[in-house]
Structure 1
Amino acid sequence: MILSNTPNSPVPDTSLLPDSERIAPVAADTIDKAVQGAHKAVDRFADTAAPTVRQLAQTGDAWTASCRATVREQPLMALLAAFAVGALVGRITR
């Protein structure tokens, strides 16, 4: 028996073939193993990346604190630097 999605592409019906009842559990086991492998890979990556992410967060916090301190100490210089960067970006984007 042949089932068809469209008239030009017949799809064989394998439900009546011998051993067809064993194909589904084997496929399910294969998919389960692939999913477990993917989960393990993601977990390993997350465990490896976590310290780096924490370090970058601390570095970002330190830079933010440093910039705030600099702006408080020299507000005019910060204003002039912001103006210069804005003018440069404006010129580049024209």
Structure 2
Amino acid sequence: MNEEREIRVAEDQGGESLVAALAALELKVMEVQREIRRLRNYARGLEEENQRLRTMMAETVFGGQGQERLRLFYDQGYHVCPAQFGRVRGSQGCLFCLSFLEKRG
């Protein structure tokens, strides 16, 4: 809304002010682009960390008493199927997890 008001004021004052308003708007767009890049990098970092944690969880589950641990994770509400491993399953069952547990059991 402020930008619209600035442009209207600039139009009333002549072309030179319009150029200044456009330059200010361009600076704001550049700031938004920088923020988008920062957030994108942050999201990549979170995805990488998430993958590392899933790998660690898989190593923990498959080390030792793997089948029992898989069943425990599933009962606690996590996916144990390869496609969704480690993601929250909630209260809904997962046919892929159940099939995976049956194959391993």
Structure 1 and Structure 2 fold alike (TM over 0.5): no
> Shorter-normalised TM-score: what interval?
0.3 to 0.5
TM-score where L is the length of structure 1: 0.45
Structure number with higher relative contact order (C-alpha < 8 Å, ≥ 6 residues apart): 2
> Which of structures 1 and 2 has the bigger CA Rg?
1
TM-score where L is the length of structure 2: 0.42
- Relative to its length, the structure with more strand (as a share) is 1
